[in-house]
A and B are shown apart, each in its own frame.
Chain A
């Protein structure tokens, strides 16, 4: 089983749509969780950290389900500028600092 697994997509949605991505992780001891976005051939940029209680930042909502070991990202009112690859990222162990990246889910928002 992959350490961090994501549906590669692509998700093609119209502007204004709501879209959700899920991600599963294999290490139950994982401590920190993040969503990053990556535009083509650019660096990963932090979108948001994911907390156990769930958190929201504008149109973006992240949820963590430790029992099922999955993380979700919900994007409301999609904009053209949301088109990117969304990376699920996990710090797998308190003793480690390395981030483990999923392969990413590609989102294409269409006019």
Chain B
């Protein structure tokens, strides 16, 4: 069964540094998403991406965040200058259609020191 894969599984970074989280979506998915989950809290939407552009973003997704899919394969989330409160699990997800179920990768645990 195809899977969404994410790397790295755990990233430890100093506050103020840039991080890039990577995702390889399932090949026949057209919609791509990033979510995050702070420890002990619910999963929160960050951004959706379709047809090579952002289609929707949440209030969390400020100017420090960016996404791209440069080669049609990897889907990346970049945080330009990390803050302590960016520490969370980051999940990539994909889906075939706008209202279809989304399938999640196994996440990247981001720890900001």
Contacts and interface: CB of A to CB of B under 8 A. Distances in A.
Interface residues of A, number: 22
For B41, B43, B50, the residue with the greatest tally of chain A CB atoms inside 10 Å of its CB is B43
- Chain B interface secondary structure, helix, strand, loop or mixed? strand
Contact of A97 (B55, B89, B91, B103): B55
A43 B33 contact: no
Nearest to A43: B104
Contacts of A98: 33, 45, 48, 56, 58
Given A43-B91, A96-B56, A101 B42 contact: yes
A104 B40 CA distance: 10
Contacts of A100: 45
Contact of B101 (A41, A42, A46, A103): A46
Interface in A57-111: 87, 91, 94, 96-104
Interface string B91-113: 10001001111111111010000
Interface residues of B, number: 27
B75 interface: no
A34 interface: yes
Interface of B: 31, 33, 35, 41-45, 48, 50, 55-56, 58, 89, 91, 95, 98-107, 109
Closest 10 pairs between A and B when the two form their complex, measured CB to CB: A98-B45, A43-B104, A101-B43, A32-B99, A103-B42, A97-B48, A46-B101, A101-B42, A43-B106, A97-B98
